[in-house]
Amino acid sequence: MVDTREALMVARTSDGRTVRRPLSPFMIGPSYRPQLTSMLSITHRITGCGLAVGTMLLVWWLVAAATSDASYARAAWFIRSPIGYLFMFGWTAALWFHFCNGIRHLFWDFGYGFELPTVHASGKAVLAATAVLTVLTWIIVVVTL
């Protein structure tokens, strides 16, 4: 038997056609035109998932430091390998994006910045801040290394 909640999934488009409501991720696909707002929203999720993976690597580094010289050497070897550097660069870029866009979300939670021009301006500011912070982080790493 079809679930009775299925009745809620039927909708009508503005030109009168009966359609099945799109399920998430409906922001990607034919239902919506790609926009800065939706693209930054999905990037927030993607970077969040990426950061989860990166955090597992940081836990490996912490556990290795707590375990032995040999296991710390293994973790350090991976971090300093080309793949390790690529991971760390991706991790810092994802971190700064999620950090800046997260603060943008917190402003919304306080009720600020909902006007469309402000939403677009803050979105562009998040992208700029991400680029600046990522480059700055790596300049500091290279200079102090």
Partner 1 sequence: MNDKAASPAIMRSMLGRARGLGSAKSGTGHWWAQRVTAFALIPLVLWFVCSAIRLAGQPRAAVQHWAGSPVVATLLAALVIATFHHMQLGLQVVIEDYVHGEKPRMFWLLAMKAVTALFGLAGLIAVLKLAIS
Tokens of 13: 């488009």
- Taking the least distance from each CB to partner 1, the nearer of 65 and 86 is 65
In the chain, which ranges are continuous DSSP H helix? 36-67, 69-79, 82-109, 116-144
In the region spanning residues 61 to 90, those forming contacts with partner 1, defined by CB under 8 A, are 62-63, 65-67, 69, 72-73, 76, 80
Of the ranges 12-20, 33-41, 101-109, 114-122, which one interacts with partner 1 (CB under 8 A)?
101-109
- Taking the least distance from each CB to partner 1, the nearer of 26 and 34 is 26
- Taking the least distance from each CB to partner 1, the nearer of 38 and 137 is 137
Count of Cβ atoms closer than 10 Å to residue 64 Cβ: 19
End-to-end CA distance of the chain: 65
Interacting residues of 44 by C-beta distance below 8 A, sequence separation 6+: 97, 98, 101, 102, 105
User: Taking the complex as a whole, how short is the minimal distance between the CB of residue 17 and partner 1, in angstroms?
Assistant: 20
Q: Is the distance from CB of 81 to CB of 96 less than 8 angstroms? A: no
Residues that bind partner 1 (CB under 8 A): 23-25, 45, 48-49, 51-52, 55-56, 58-59, 62-63, 65-67, 69, 72-73, 76, 80, 92, 95, 99, 102-103, 105-106, 109, 137, 140-141, 144-145
